[in-house]
Amino acid sequence: MVDTEYDAIVIGGGSAGLSFARHAADLGAKVALIERAELGGTCVNRGCVPKKMLWTMADALHRSAGLTRAGLLGPVPQVDLARFCAARGDKLESIRQSYRDKLREAGVTLIEDTAELTAPGEVTISGQRLHAPRVVLATGGRPVKPDMQGAELACDSDAVLNWTALPRDMAIIGGGYIGCEMAAIHAALGVRVTLVTDTDRVLTEFSEPAAKVGQANMVAQGIRIITGCTPEAVRKGEDGLELVLDAETTLKVEKVVAATGRAPNLEALGDLKERVALTDKGVVKVDESFETSLPGLHAVGDCADRLPLTPVASSDGETLARQLFGAHRPPVELRHVATTAFILPPVAEVGQPAKEAIFEGNALAPLSAALRADAPQDYYGLGGSEQAVTSVSLVAEGAHEAIAWAAQMLLHRPDRDSMRRALGVHPSTSEEAMG
C-alpha cells in the first residue's frame, strides 16, 4: 500500500516527468511518479536513443560505401542486426535502471500502474485514490497513422525502431524529420527506400535552403522521393504490401511506414478532459507556469503546447519543479532550442531560420567529395542581419554537435564581424561559416 497524500503527483515517466519528479524531490517535495509502461518514455524506448544507435551504424556504412564505390576501400561491411538488437536492448535497460536508481535516491515514490485524474487534485490507480495540490501531466505522445484505407497494415516509428530484421524495400509516408531519418538510416543499411510526402519538399520544419540540400543528399543516397502526393490506400499484395498513390500508380514493397505525425496521450484526464483546454493541434494549452485551464493541473513534455523535443521536456520539467518548490525561473525560450534531423549528413538549425531572412548562406562540396562517390553537399546559413545574427543552419558531418554551441553563441546576438574574429578548423565546413 502506497501513501495517499503528496505535494505533487506526476503522471508519466518520460523525460519531462522524470525531470520534474527528481528536481521537485531534491527541493524537498513529497512526490509520486506513476508510469504505466517503461521508464524513459518515447525518447529512451521508442525514439531518440534507439534511433541514434541505429543512425550510428548507418552513418558508418554510408561513409564506407562511398569510399568503396570510389575503389578506395574493400567490400562494405555487413550488418549484424541480431548483435545490434542485443546491444540496443542492453543499453536501453541500463538507462531504465539508472532512472529507477535516481528516483529511489531522490526519495520519489515510483508507482507502475495506469493512472486516471478523477477529480482536481485526485489521481486513481487500481481503485486507490491519491491526492496532491499539484498534479503534473507528463504523458507524452504517440505516432498516428493517416486516415486512409488499410492504414493498419503500415508500421509506425515505434515498430520500426524495434525491427529485428530489415525489409528488402520500404515506402515511407511523410516527409518530416522522422520520415526522413527513417529513410536515410534504412537506405544506408541496404534497404531500397521510397519516401512519399504531400508537401512540395521534405523537412518542412527546417529552412528551405537547408532542407533542399538535405533532400538532394537523400536523393544522392539512392532514396526515391515523391513530393506533392497523398497516398490513397495500403493493401496486401502477393509478396508484401502495395501503397496506392493514385489510380495509375502503386508501389509494391515489403513494408510501409507511416511517419505522419504524433498525438498527445490524454487518456489519464478521464472525464476531466472536457475541462482542459487544448490547442488546434490537440495538445494541452499551458501558461508560463505550465498550468492548464484546470487549476492545480500542470502539463509538460510532448502532451503540452511546447516544442516536442527531449531537451525541452527535461528543461520544462526542471523549471516547473523550481517554480513550485524553489526559486522561480521562466521557461527556456524556444527560439534558443537547437534541432537536428539525423539524415546523412545531419541537418541542424537554431533560431528561426524558417521564418526570417537568410542574409548569408552557401552550399559547398566538402573535402571528402574528392574521395567518396556520391558525396553529400554541405551547407551553412546565417539569419538575422550583419548587426545581429539570430539563426544558424548547418548541413554537414557533425552538424548535430556544432549546432548546440551555435545556440549558446546566439544568446548574445553577435554581429557578423565579431564572428569572423573566431577562426574555424581547416579544412572544414565550419571554417566556411565562420570566415
**pLDDT value at 434 more than 80:** no
pLDDT of residue 77: 87
C-alpha torsion angle, residues 156, 159, 160, 164 (rounded to 10) = -160
pLDDT of residue 428: 85
What would the mean pLDDT of 157-172 be, rounded to a whole number? 95
Give 410-420 pLDDT, tens digit per residue: 999 999 999 88
**pLDDT value at 372 more than 90:** no
The residue that leads in pLDDT, 65 or 23, is 23
Strand bridging mode 109-112 / 31-35? parallel
Residue 76's pLDDT band (cuts 50, 70, 90)? confident
The residue that leads in pLDDT, 112 or 374, is 112
Lowest mean pLDDT segment, chosen from 114-128, 304-318, 346-360: 346-360
Cell of 337: 532550442
What would the mean pLDDT of 42-48 be, rounded to a whole number? 95
pLDDT of residue 227: 98
Give 130-144 pLDDT, tens digit per residue: 999 999 999 999 999
Residue 108's pLDDT band (cuts 50, 70, 90)? very high
Domains of the chain are 8-46+82-142+263-334 (3.50.50.60), 151-260 (3.50.50.60), 345-434 (3.30.390.30)
- What percent of the chain has pLDDT above 70? 100
Residue 427 preceded by cis peptide, ω within 30: yes
**Closest C-alpha among 142, 138, 125 to residue 45:** 142
**pLDDT value at 328 more than 90:** no
pLDDT of residue 2: 74
Q: 10 Å Cβ neighbour count for 332?
A: 16
pLDDT of residue 3: 85
Is the separation of the CB atoms in 434 and 424 below 8 Å? yes
Query: 3-class DSSP state for residue 240?
Result: strand
pLDDT, the chain, mean: 95
pLDDT of residue 256: 98
The dihedral sign for the CA sequence 184, 189, 190, 194: negative
**pLDDT value at 28 more than 80:** yes
Residue 374's pLDDT band (cuts 50, 70, 90)? confident
Residue 432's pLDDT band (cuts 50, 70, 90)? confident
Residue 153's pLDDT band (cuts 50, 70, 90)? very high
What would the mean pLDDT of 208-223 be, rounded to a whole number? 97
Residue 355's pLDDT band (cuts 50, 70, 90)? confident
Is the separation of the CB atoms in 188 and 344 below 8 Å? yes
Burial 308-320 (b: 16+ CB within 10 A, else e): bbbbbbbbbbbbb
pLDDT of residue 369: 84
Burial 156-188 (b: 16+ CB within 10 A, else e): bbeebbeeeeebebbbbbbbbbbbbbbbbbbbb
The CA-based diameter of the chain, rounded to the nearest angstrom, is 68
**Closest C-alpha among 105, 132, 90 to residue 5:** 132
Single pTM value for the model: 0.95
**pLDDT value at 218 more than 70:** yes
Rg (CA), the chain: 23
pLDDT of residue 370: 86
Whole-angstrom CA distances from 26 to 315, 326, 330 are 15, 10, 19
pLDDT of residue 1: 61
Is the separation of the CB atoms in 282 and 264 below 8 Å? yes
